[in-house]
Amino acid sequence: MDHPRAFLLLKPDCLRLGLTGSVERAIARAGLRIVCRHRVTLSGADVRCLWPEYHEAGHPLALAFLDRYLTGEPSEVLHLRGPDAFEAARRVKREVRSRHAAGPFANVVHGAQRHGEMARQAGHLLGRCAACAEPFHSDEPPLNPPRPPGRDFRADADLTALVDELWPLVQGVPADPGPVRLDGDDTGQAVVLGSDPEQTLDSTVTALWHALPGVELRHAVLLVMHAGYSGGTPVAVGGRRALDDCLRILRAHGVRACWRGLI
Ligand SMILES: [Zn+2]
């Protein structure tokens, strides 16, 4: 089935960095034309409506970072038309990200992954003018599958303040806070955390919270962000038994991308 319409959301960093022209050229190269554009300043409520696979109690960290990244500054929605617009818009998104994305919350553009997501999000973002009023249709379920949740860290920290503190440290290459020292004599080995897109920031930080007794929340968040960037970040050093326990607890929390390695 041909989908002649699509949209892309130019996030606040795209506008701030002056990348709109670069995105427009990628759109033209993909055979799409811009039929309408809307400036929007997203709110926290918009973020929760657009990405309902994240919810307040289970993904408070992801939402706090998304709020910091996406709200309060202007974004722009581009309504696109052209042959097989859904796939073409996805290609534009990949091209723009490979050229300009820098860091875990700095990927410049959003485009829907699924037709159902596209229709649902377009219904939220468009429909404000005659050119955009015709609803997007999709046979797919509107919701994306839920993402693995984590601990409700709102009880442990002021997450808005935490994100304000960490924000400069996760721009570009995320800062590496170094491994946590566990009990026992150093063996020259470490537990290494890899990158796993099946997990979420919240689910992985929660696993570290249990696997690294007494770890500070800011430390755990930075370890997870660095692991997502590096693909292999040492998160714990110490004695053999402590490292065994750490790995076992990570795996019990669903983290598969973790192993024992040399420090
Ligand atoms: Zn419009």
How many angstroms is it from 128 CA to the middle of ligand 1? 6
| 126 C-alpha to ligand 1 centroid (Å) | 6
Task: Identify the structural domains of the chain with CATH numbers, from first to last.
Answer: 5-132 (3.30.70.141), 176-262 (3.30.1390)
Cα 245 to ligand 1 centre (Å)? 55
List CB contacts of 90: < 8 A, sequence separation 6 or more.
111, 113
C-alpha 99 to ligand 1 mean position (Å): 28
Distance from residue 111's CA to the centre of ligand 1 (Å): 17
Which residue's structure tokens are 């002021």? 158
Confidence label for 2 from pLDDT (cuts 50, 70 and 90):
low
Q: How far is the CA of 125 from the centre of ligand 1 (A)?
A: 9
Give the tokens for residue 256: 């598969």
Q: Is 83 left (phi over 0), alpha (psi -120 to 50) or beta?
A: beta
pLDDT of 109 > 80? The answer is: yes
> How close is the Cα of 37 to the center of ligand 1, in Å?
6
Q: pLDDT by residue (tens digit) across 157-215?
A: 999 999 999 999 999 999 999 999 999 999 999 999 999 989 999 999 999 999 999 99
Q: Is the pLDDT of residue 259 over 70?
A: yes
C-alpha 135 – ligand 1 centre gap (Å): 12
The 10s digit of each residue's pLDDT in 23-70 is 999 999 999 999 999 999 999 999 999 999 999 999 999 999 999 999
Q: How do residues 219-247 score in pLDDT, each as one tens digit?
A: 999 999 999 999 999 999 999 999 999 99
**Which residues are bridge partners to 77 per DSSP?**
9, 38
Q: Are 144 and 53 within 8 A, CB to CB? A: yes
pLDDT digits (tens, 9 = 90+) for 120-147: 999 999 988 999 999 898 888 888 888 9
**Residue 68: CB atoms within 10 Å:** 17
Query: Which tokens is 73 given?
Result: 């500054």
CA–CA separation, 49 vs 253, rounded Å? 28
Report how far ligand 1's centroid is from the alpha carbon of 251 (Å).
Answer: 47
77 C-alpha to ligand 1 centroid (Å)? 9
CA of 7 to the centre of ligand 1 (A): 11
Across the strands, what pairs with 262? Answer: 189
The radius of gyration of the chain's CA atoms, rounded to the nearest angstrom, is 20
